[in-house]
Amino acid sequence: MDKKQKIFIISISVVVVLLIVALIVYVVTKKETESVNDNRLSTIYDKMMQNETYQVTFKLDDNNQYTVSRKGNVANIDTYSDGSHTTEIIKDGNTNLLMYSTKRYYTYQNNEIGLTELATELNDIIQSQEPEKGEEEIDGKTYKYEEYKGVSYFLMNANDEVSEEDTNTRFYFKGDKLQYIKTIMGEKSELLQVNVSYNVDNSLFEIPADFQEG
């Protein structure tokens, strides 16, 4: 092997080594970036807002739960609270409150706060801070969680006055699915079961025929 061939081989070897080093640096940097941006709650929010179509149920127990269903510019908020059942249907810029105990509904003109309230709150939570991440076992299963400080929006049964500063909220995931939300208030906590879907029935946005206007 002459001198030129040796120089050529050495040069090729150096190039290969440099390429390998560059590839390793790229992979490590990419993983670190993905780790920083791996926010499951943000991913769910983005999917919800992709077509502005989602249905989310929050359940404390059979007597205390609510479901937010939205499809574009219409929404339905169905609530069970200690035996009472009400529904808000938001459409055409108005909110129709359905009272199941009397089979009557009441229309509040130019009021559509409920249309975007859940989405707005989720976005505010996500933008407010980088969550603390960890794992916790619930009913014998291990879930990854993201915890946000100073959040009490999802607290359903607030018997005492709640201080935002002393309240944190954990979102629990199995894979990319949100399964539970826990509001932590010092030594106390409240755990909600959560179900998120992206299919919404159009009939939810119509006032039932057996309801009369109040």
Whether 213 maps to a domain, the answer reads no
Indicate which CATH number applies to the domain containing 56: 2.50.20.10
For residue 29, what pLDDT band results from cuts at 50, 70 and 90? Answer: very low
For residue 120, what pLDDT band results from cuts at 50, 70 and 90? Answer: very high
CB 169 within 8 A of CB 154: yes
Inform me whether the pLDDT recorded for 25 exceeds 90: no
Inform me whether the pLDDT recorded for 34 exceeds 60: no
Tell me the mean pLDDT in the region 177-198: 96
Lowest-confidence pick of 1-10, 81-90, 98-107, 171-180: 1-10
Indicate if 50 and 30 belong to the same structural domain. Answer: no
Indicate if 88 and 190 belong to the same structural domain. Answer: yes
Q: Count the domains in the chain.
A: 2
Indicate if 56 and 154 belong to the same structural domain. Answer: yes
Amino acid 26: pLDDT = 45
CA–CA distance from 150 to each of 112, 161, 164, 170 (Å)?
A: 26, 14, 5, 11
Whether 100 maps to a domain, the answer reads yes
Domain that holds residue 14: 1-37
Q: Kindly state the tokens that stand for 39.
A: 């926010």
Inform me whether the pLDDT recorded for 48 exceeds 90: yes
What is the bridge-based pairing of β-strands 74-81 and 84-91?
antiparallel
For 73, what's the count of Cα atoms within 13 Å in the CB-facing half-sphere?
5
How many residues are listed for the chain in this entry? 214
CB 129 within 8 A of CB 171: no
Amino acid 45: pLDDT = 98
Surface-to-core class of residue 167, CB atoms within 10 Å of its CB (0-12 exposed, 13-18 middle, 19+ buried): buried
Residue 121 corresponds to which amino acid? E
Inform me whether the pLDDT recorded for 49 exceeds 50: yes
Indicate if 126 and 31 belong to the same structural domain. Answer: no
Question: Distance (Å, rounded) from C-alpha 69 to C-alpha 61?
Answer: 19
Averaged pLDDT of the chain: 88
Inform me whether the pLDDT recorded for 182 exceeds 70: yes
Question: Distance (Å, rounded) from C-alpha 208 to C-alpha 107?
Answer: 14
> Could you report the per-residue pLDDT of 55-77, keeping only the tens digit for each?
999 999 999 999 999 999 999 99
Whether 210 maps to a domain, the answer reads no
- The whole model's pTM is what? 0.81
**Which residue would you say has higher pLDDT here, 6 or 112?**
112
Whether 208 maps to a domain, the answer reads no
